[in-house]
């Protein structure tokens, strides 16, 4: 459910589940980690999604009949965030259309994010009793603790234009169709920069960021997992499914 396309020296990875708005499964996230590890020979990576949106978040239908599905989704998301941060080449995301919940969390692990003005970005998972804490360190490292607190505790979505204003989006386009081409162009330009210097700089930026220390990330993962299977979360998910 993740496709790979080489464009020059750029590795373009796309979530390839357009019929489901690229909703994430544990297997997709594990595959993403494997594919990112295989991109070390590329000069840059673009993370995109097939169809109209980048990613609609977790495929929560998996949790209807599998009590372990939600915990697996959160755990694999944490691994994907770490993999995107640690890859030594620049990573550019094409957040066209929407980047919701887990999709938004992945944006925070990328070096640059391209989105369209009307793209829907945010963390509505809290409405379902699911804590987005797992992505709090990476989000706060990008936009600061105050804006991150607002975005995670107020479970709505913001526009691509607002995401650019607060620093979550680096490049703002007029239409969704412009996002992936711009992401590839940006990644191509970044890939032309000296590779060793790029890798050393990324590693140093990660090292000086206390929010992304392994201890903080592990604690954030535990915070998200603590609420899984609780009464509130089960009730809110059941209510959501009854409305669909």
234 alpha carbon, distance to own chain's centre: 24
Pick from 185, 170, 158: which is nearest to 113 by CA?
A: 170
CATH topology of domain 2-178+195-242: 2-enoyl-CoA Hydratase; Chain A, domain 1 (3.90.226)
The model scores a pTM over 0.75: yes
Helix (H, G, I), strand (E, B) or coil at 12: strand
What DSSP letter does each residue of 83-133 carry, written as one string?
Answer: HHHH-SS-EEEEE-SEEETHHHHHHTTSSEEEEETT-EEE-GGGGGT---G
- Backbone torsion region of residue 57, taken as left when φ is above 0, otherwise alpha when ψ lies between -120 and 50, otherwise beta: left
Torsion of CA 222, 58, 137, 201, to 10 degrees: 130
**pLDDT by position in tens, the chain (length 244):** 999 999 999 999 999 999 999 999 999 999 999 999 998 789 999 999 999 999 999 999 998 888 899 999 999 999 999 999 999 999 999 999 999 999 999 999 999 999 999 999 999 989 999 999 999 999 999 999 999 999 999 878 999 999 999 999 999 999 999 999 999 999 999 999 999 999 999 999 988 888 777 788 999 999 999 989 889 988 998 888 888 6
């Amino acid at each position: 459910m993740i496709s790979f396309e080489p464009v020059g020296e750029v590795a373009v990875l796309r979530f390839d589940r357009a019929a489901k708005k690229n909703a994430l499964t544990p297997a997709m996230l594990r595959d993403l980690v494997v594919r990112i590890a295989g991109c070390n020979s590329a000069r840059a990576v673009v993370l995109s999604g097939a169809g109209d949106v980048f990613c609609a978040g977790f495929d929560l239908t998996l949790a209807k009949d599998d009590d372990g599905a939600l915990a697996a989704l959160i755990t694999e998301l944490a691994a994907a965030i770490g993999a995107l941060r640690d890859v030594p080449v620049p990573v550019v995301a094409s957040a066209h259309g929407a980047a919701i919940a887990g999709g938004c969390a992945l944006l925070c692990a990328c070096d640059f994010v391209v989105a369209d003005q009307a793209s829907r970005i945010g963390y509505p998972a809290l409405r379902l009793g699911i804590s987005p804490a797992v992505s709090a360190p990476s989000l706060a490292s990008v936009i600061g603790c105050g804006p991150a607190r607002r975005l995670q505790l107020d479970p709505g979505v913001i526009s691509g234009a607002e995401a650019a204003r607060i620093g979550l989006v680096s490049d703002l386009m007029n239409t969704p169709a412009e996002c992936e081409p711009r992401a590839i162009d940006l990644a191509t330009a970044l890939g032309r920069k000296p590779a060793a210097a790029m890798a050393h700089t990324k590693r140093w930026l990660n090292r000086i960021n206390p929010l992304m220390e392994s201890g903080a990330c592990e604690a954030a993962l535990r915070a998200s997992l603590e609420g899984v299977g609780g009464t509130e979360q089960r009730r809110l998910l059941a209510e959501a499914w009854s409305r669909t």
